[in-house]
Amino acid sequence: MSYKDHAQQQHDRIYGVQINDDGAIEQMNDELAQACVDGLKNLEIHNYPQPINMEVSLLSIFCGLYDISNESIRAEGIGNIRKFNKLSANADKNYGQASSNGERKPNPWILTKILRYHNKDYYEQIIKPLLKKNYEAKKKEKQILINQTLIPNKIDLQDGFTLLDMQEKAANGEYENEEQIVMDLTRLLVYYEGETEDIYAIKGYDAICDTQVLYHKLEGT
């Protein structure tokens, strides 16, 4: 694998994530969806599905467009298929069947892959920066949620759950997503603003007192 291919693979792994923590396909925002529709032009579209890196199939186009949540953008994309692209004779003949099949397995992120291989300059200039922007926005939202969860948290010292229990769960692969980790952290860690410095407190077992206690730390210590 060349360095360029490796870099692209890393980009797709980080920024092209399309499955949320519940295992569902993530919705594409309107900005990215519109950009994908705008880029689906001057393509040669074939009838029979082939790997996306080889050719564009009518089915893959419909699968991508049908999962765009914005009805106006979706309709524009469907209208552009024949208007701005060249369909093979078989693709044109089987247009209705491909449209029907595309509704069964919709996934808007297919469109970014089509553009990556078949409108490369547009992908690099328009789609790639939007994928990064989308990833960073999701990351920021998740961090805000984590902060909102931790800050008002009150530690239950009667709960026997400890950091050791959390480490064992992690070692055993029991955590399926970040939210589960955060929920367990809320049983151990609390953060609040002090008069001069922010303060963190973590629950731990005090062997002398034979009970759970809070150990306080100032930020930066």
Kind and range of the H or E element at 192?
strand 189-193
CA-based torsion, 67, 69, 71, 73: positive or negative: negative
User: What is the pLDDT confidence band of residue 58, given thresholds at 50, 70 and 90?
Assistant: very high
Structure tokens at 115: 């553009």
Q: What is the mean pLDDT of residues 62-68?
A: 96
Based on the fold, state whether residues 24 and 86 are members of the same structural domain.
Answer: yes
Based on the fold, state whether residues 80 and 174 are members of the same structural domain.
Answer: no
Number of residues written out for the chain: 221
Based on the fold, state whether residues 31 and 109 are members of the same structural domain.
Answer: yes
Based on the fold, state whether residues 135 and 53 are members of the same structural domain.
Answer: yes
Q: What is the mean pLDDT of residues 141-151?
A: 60
Based on the fold, state whether residues 190 and 82 are members of the same structural domain.
Answer: no
Kind and range of the H or E element at 211?
strand 211-218
41-50 pLDDT per residue, tens? 999 999 988 8
Q: How far apart are the first and last CA of the chain?
A: 45
Helix axes 128-150, 3-15, angle to 10 degrees: 40
The residues, ordered by sequence, that sit 6+ positions from 210 with a Cβ below 8 Å of its Cβ are none
Percent of the chain with pLDDT over 70: 76
User: What pLDDT score does 108 carry?
Assistant: 94
| Helix segments in the chain, DSSP class H | 3-15, 30-39, 58-65, 71-84, 89-93, 95-102, 110-118, 120-122, 128-150, 163-171, 178-185
Domain boundary among 91, 113, 145: 145
Domain boundary among 123, 145, 167: 145
Edge-to-edge strand list for the sheet holding 44-46: 56-57, 44-46, 86-87
Based on the fold, state whether residues 160 and 79 are members of the same structural domain.
Answer: no
Based on the fold, state whether residues 137 and 157 are members of the same structural domain.
Answer: no
Based on the fold, state whether residues 63 and 117 are members of the same structural domain.
Answer: yes
Based on the fold, state whether residues 112 and 209 are members of the same structural domain.
Answer: no
3-state secondary structure 94-134: CHHHHHHHHCCCCCCCHHHHHHHHHCHHHHHHHHHHHHHHH
Based on the fold, state whether residues 134 and 214 are members of the same structural domain.
Answer: no
The reported pTM is 0.63
Based on the fold, state whether residues 185 and 121 are members of the same structural domain.
Answer: no
155-201 pLDDT per residue, tens? 777 888 888 899 999 999 999 988 899 889 888 887 766 566 667 77
Based on the fold, state whether residues 167 and 140 are members of the same structural domain.
Answer: no
Domain that holds residue 17: 3-145
User: What pLDDT score does 141 carry?
Assistant: 76
80-99 pLDDT per residue, tens? 999 999 999 999 999 999 99
Please determine, for residue 220, whether its predicted confidence score (pLDDT) is greater than 60. Answer: no
How many domains does the structure of the chain reveal? 2
221 and 211 Cβ atoms separated by less than 8 Å: no
Domain boundary among 145, 176, 200: 145
| Geometric angle at alpha carbon 53, from 51 and 58, rounded to 5° | 60
